[in-house]
Amino acid sequence: MDERCRHTLQSVFGFSGFRPLQEEAVNAILNRRDLLMILPTGGGKSLCYQLPALLMEGITIVVSPLLALMHDQVSALKAQGVKAEMLSSMQDAEASEAIRQRLFAGDIRLLYVAPERLSNSYFLQMLSQLPIAFFVIDEAHCVSEWGHEFRDDYRRLGLLKERFPGVGIAAFTATATQKVHADIAEQLRLQDPVLLRGTIFRENLLVQVRHRIKDGRAQLLSFLQSHRDESGIVYTFTRNAAESLAHYLQGQGVRARAYHAGLDTAERNATYHDFVHDEVEVVVATVAFGMGIDKSNIRFVVHMSLPKTIENYYQEIGRAGRDGEPSEVMLLYSAGDIAQRRGLVDQLEEGPYKQHAYDKLQAMVRYANAERCRHQLLAAYFGDTIDPCKCMCDNCINPEKEKEAITVEAQKFLSALYRTGQRFGMHYVVDVLRGSTEKRILDNGHETLSVYGIGKERGREQWLAIGERLLELELVGQGEHKGLYITPQGSAWLKSGESLDIARERLSVRERVSRKAVLETVDYDVGLFEALRVLRKELADEQGIAPYMVFSDKTLKEMAASQPEDKAAMLQISGVGEVKFERYGEAFLALLRSLV
Query: Domain map of the chain by residue range?
Result: 3-197, 205-397, 403-507, 526-595
pLDDT of residue 510: 40
Looking at residue 52, its amino acid is P
Q: Say if residues 68 and 289 touch (Cβ distance below 8 Å).
A: no
Q: Say if residues 17 and 585 touch (Cβ distance below 8 Å).
A: no
Question: Would you give the DSSP letter of residue 393?
Answer: B
Residue among 35, 43, 59 nearest 107 (CA): 59
Q: How far apart are CA 310 and CA 375, in angstroms?
A: 12
DSSP string, 461-472: HHHHHHHHHHHH
Looking at residue 514, its amino acid is S
Q: Say if residues 529 and 556 touch (Cβ distance below 8 Å).
A: yes
Other CB atoms within 10 Å distance of the CB of residue 425: 16
| 399 compared with 143, residue with greater pLDDT | 143
Q: How far apart are CA 308 and CA 172, in angstroms?
A: 23
Q: What is the pLDDT of residues 547-570, one digit of tens each?
A: 988 999 889 988 988 888 889 889
Tell me the pLDDT band of 411, cut-offs 50, 70 and 90: very high
| 519 compared with 343, residue with greater pLDDT | 343
CATH architecture of 3-197: 3-Layer(aba) Sandwich (3.40)
Q: How far apart are CA 235 and CA 302, in angstroms?
A: 6
For residue 24, pLDDT beyond 90: yes
For residue 519, pLDDT beyond 50: no
Two domains, one topology: 3-197 and 205-397:
yes
Residue among 361, 382, 19 nearest 201 (CA): 382
For residue 471, pLDDT beyond 70: yes
CATH 1.10.150.80 fits 526-595, yes or no: yes
CATH architecture of 403-507: Orthogonal Bundle (1.10)
Q: Say if residues 295 and 72 touch (Cβ distance below 8 Å).
A: yes
* C-alpha pair distances (Å), 146 with each of 137, 181, 184, 306, 311: 17, 10, 10, 20, 11
Give alpha helix (H) positions in 514-576. Answer: 526-543, 553-562, 567-570
Q: Say if residues 432 and 451 touch (Cβ distance below 8 Å).
A: yes
Q: What is the percentage of the chain residues whose pLDDT exceeds 70?
A: 95
| 370 compared with 453, residue with greater pLDDT | 453
Q: In what helix (H) or strand (E) does residue 234 lie, and over which residues does it extend?
A: strand 231-235
Global pTM value? 0.67
86: β partners? 112
Looking at residue 368, its amino acid is A
For the domain covering 205-397, report its CATH number: 3.40.50.300
Q: What is the pLDDT of residues 180-220, one digit of tens each?
A: 888 999 999 999 999 998 888 888 999 999 988 888 999 99
Q: How far apart are CA 563 and CA 532, in angstroms?
A: 11
Q: How far apart are CA 227 and CA 343, in angstroms?
A: 35
Q: What is the mean pLDDT of the chain?
A: 88
Mean pLDDT in residue range 175-183: 83
Mean pLDDT in residue range 453-481: 86
